[in-house]
Amino acid sequence: MIQVISFPIRNRDDNSALPSRWSAVHHPILFKLCRKDVNVVQMQFLNGVHRVILQSMPAGIAIGQTCRLVSGPVNADVVVTGISGNQISITGPSLPQFTTGGYLNLTQARKNYIADVRVLGVDNSNTYYEVGNIEVKPSPDGTFNINPAGYVKVIAERTDTFLYNLINKRIIGAGSRFNFQFRESWVGHEGTYSTLSNTNVFYWTNATKQLQQKYNFNVAEHVIFPTLNTTTFMSDFDEPTYFPGFPFSLSFIWSDRVAANQLQRVEERFNQQGVSTGTITTTLDGSQNLAVNRMMLAGTYPTTTKRLEVWLNDNGVQPVRYVGVGYVLGGYVLNQPGLPTIKPVRNVPSN
Amino acid sequence: MSRVTEKKHIDIDHDCVKNPVYLNWLGTNSGRNYWLFKTVQTRGITVTVDGTYETYLTDIENAQGDVQDLGRGARPRLTIGAKVPIPKLLGLERVLYSINVLMLMNPGTWTTVGPRWQIVRVVPGSFKLNDTDEKFHTIELTIELPAINIQSV
């Protein structure tokens, strides 16, 4: 099997409760994976023989074969000298007497082992499609790195496709999700691709990072977290200028951390004297989540409004309506057998 | 209900606009940015010739000419500028190296038919930006517009 052992996650403010899965696609987005043919429970030294207790006995293993053992401090080729139940006995260089955990790779039995990674991006309807395939021969200890950035970058769009007619719109070509599936093959065996993960989804943005900028290739500074109010919009200006009558937008990342939340645009207006003349809150379109968004301003302001302060509010996770409006016809009555029915009683005049 | 982003200060420029040139460029953080250049710009054009040919004249009494062009190229350019406070300059100067700069072609009708953009390219070179103790600075840049299609042989 193949296991992902390292992800391109950086923690915002070095807080492990605030992981950012968003990376700049013009830099490497590195995952480290590892081939693990069978898990090792422990290695023991008994009656002069090193024994490895495996989680299960894999098919194809035979006496005299060379395998790679990675367990504790051991990371070396060993030769199988005996097989019994879930155990094998081995000989190898400088083996310690006891280790726990790790894995064993059948490097001789499984010839020409290839790990095949299928990279998927999303299209404008946020549906996955394949953008490329990476074939890797792992290093002797089974580990290998992949960098899907080069494949996913084809989805990045330079030009402006926003029509400036919605309060906010998801722009897939500015930043969206990607995923990958992997399978392993060797002589005589072609594996099937792993299922697409729902939890280990990652995201790319059409961005670059600069020298000595925080978070390396990750754009954590722009990722919205429900508990932080320091996340920045993606603007070249510290204080942009809005020219009424001309199209304008602010860009932000509707991140996985607030995917199910209702976000709101809040605009506070200020007059020439810097005095606030009111705040207007508008709900954003939640169906545009999990991507870089372009957001418009309210747009028309009296000439006395000289400045705005704009920010996003998180209005929490909204309950999902089980039955939408119009799901059942009005007047529909479910027949419940067994319940006493109440018949309308004719008005009987009393004597 | 809590604030989850910074408070972004946005200035509103209500000035009447003469000769608007509105640029929209892609920032290195994947956001888009905007500036309105107004009042005056300098128009220019770069013209090239794709070679000439001479016809052999046998009837010079009635001939119209001896040399003609195989083709010509023409690319309009526009020199625009703005005098801005330094904090605005720090954002505006990024249009100089943006990989995608667009110019709005329909300022009058974009709200009904949608914005129409044309890709323009900032002529590269060494730009002198502000001195670090200045408060305002005039930035000037030349943008190349799409070429004019001309008949050729």
User: Could you say which of B30, B87, B91 has the minimum Cβ distance to residue A207?
Assistant: B30
- The three-class DSSP label of residue A12 is helix
pLDDT-derived band at B1, boundaries 50, 70, 90: confident
A205 touches chain B (CB under 8 A): yes
The string of DSSP codes covering B87-137 is: HHHHHHGGGGG-S-EEEES-TTTHHHH---EEEEEEPPS------TT-SEE
User: Could you say which of A234, A309, A316 has the minimum Cβ distance to residue B9?
Assistant: A309
Q: Residue A236 and residue B115: Cβ atoms within 8 Å?
A: no
DSSP state of A150: H
Q: Residue A307 and residue B92: Cβ atoms within 8 Å?
A: no
Euclidean distance between CA atoms A148 and A316, whole angstroms: 33
Chain B residues touching residue A208 (CB < 8 angstroms): 28-29
A242 touches chain B (CB under 8 A): yes
Chain B residues touching residue A306 (CB < 8 angstroms): 11-12, 14
Instruction: Give the model confidence (pLDDT) of B55-69 as tens digits.
Output: 999 999 999 999 999
User: Could you say which of A164, A226, A238 has the minimum Cβ distance to residue B91?
Assistant: A238
User: Could you say which of A230, A240, A315 has the minimum Cβ distance to residue B33?
Assistant: A240
Q: Among residues A97, A49, A91, which one has the least CA distance to residue A69? A: A91
Identify the pLDDT of residue A344.
61
Q: Residue B30 and residue A297: Cβ atoms within 8 Å?
A: no
The string of DSSP codes covering A212-273 is: T-TTTTB-GGGB--TT-S-PPP--S-SS-EE-TTS---EEEEE-GGGTTEEEEEEEEEEETT
Q: Among residues B108, B22, B12, which one has the least CA distance to residue A303? A: B12
Euclidean distance between CA atoms A159 and A161, whole angstroms: 6
Identify the pLDDT of residue A317.
85
Phi-psi region of A216 (alpha: psi -120 to 50; beta: other; left: phi over 0): left
Q: Residue B34 and residue A310: Cβ atoms within 8 Å?
A: no
Chain A residues touching residue B4 (CB < 8 angstroms): 224-226, 228-229, 231, 258, 263, 311-314
Chain B residues touching residue A292 (CB < 8 angstroms): 30
A153 touches chain B (CB under 8 A): no
User: Could you say which of A174, A246, A305 has the minimum Cβ distance to residue B34?
Assistant: A246
Euclidean distance between CA atoms B113 and B106, whole angstroms: 9
The count of other CB atoms within 10 Å of the CB of residue A27 is 17
Strand partners, B83: B138
A265 touches chain B (CB under 8 A): no
Q: Residue A158 and residue B7: Cβ atoms within 8 Å?
A: no
Chain B residues touching residue A251 (CB < 8 angstroms): 29-32
Q: Is beta strand B32-37 parallel, antiparallel or unpaired with respect to B21-26?
A: antiparallel
Identify the pLDDT of residue A207.
97
Q: ipTM above 0.85?
A: yes
B39 touches chain A (CB under 8 A): no
pLDDT-derived band at B16, boundaries 50, 70, 90: confident
Identify the pLDDT of residue A339.
58
Chain B residues touching residue A294 (CB < 8 angstroms): 32
To the nearest whole angstrom, how far is the Cα of A317 from the nearest Cα of chain B?
10
User: Could you say which of A230, A233, A309 has the minimum Cβ distance to residue B31?
Assistant: A233
Q: Among residues B17, B20, B129, B124, which one has the least CA distance to residue B80? A: B20
Chain A residues touching residue B109 (CB < 8 angstroms): none
Residue A141 half-sphere exposure toward CB, CA atoms < 13 A: 12
Chain B residues touching residue A308 (CB < 8 angstroms): 9-10, 12
Q: Give the H or E element holding residue B72.
A: strand B72-85
Chain B residues touching residue A263 (CB < 8 angstroms): 4
Q: Which of residues 93-132 of A touch B (CB under 8 A)?
A: none
Digit-by-digit pLDDT tens for chain A (351 residues) are: 999 999 999 999 999 999 999 999 999 999 999 999 999 999 999 999 999 999 999 999 999 999 999 999 999 999 999 999 999 999 999 999 999 999 999 999 999 999 999 999 999 988 999 999 999 999 999 999 999 999 999 999 999 999 999 999 999 999 999 999 999 999 999 999 999 999 889 999 999 999 999 999 999 999 999 999 999 999 999 999 999 999 999 999 999 999 999 999 999 999 999 999 999 999 999 999 999 999 999 989 999 999 999 999 999 887 765 555 555 555 666 666 665 666 666 665 655
Q: Which of residues 80-109 of B touch A (CB under 8 A)?
A: 87-88, 90-92, 94, 99-100, 102, 104, 107
User: Whole-prediction pTM value?
Assistant: 0.88
CB pairs under 8 A between A and B: 184
Identify the pLDDT of residue A326.
55
Q: Among residues A219, A177, A187, A161, which one has the least CA distance to residue A27? A: A219
Q: Residue A252 and residue B91: Cβ atoms within 8 Å?
A: no
User: Could you say which of B5, B14, B36 has the minimum Cβ distance to residue A252?
Assistant: B5
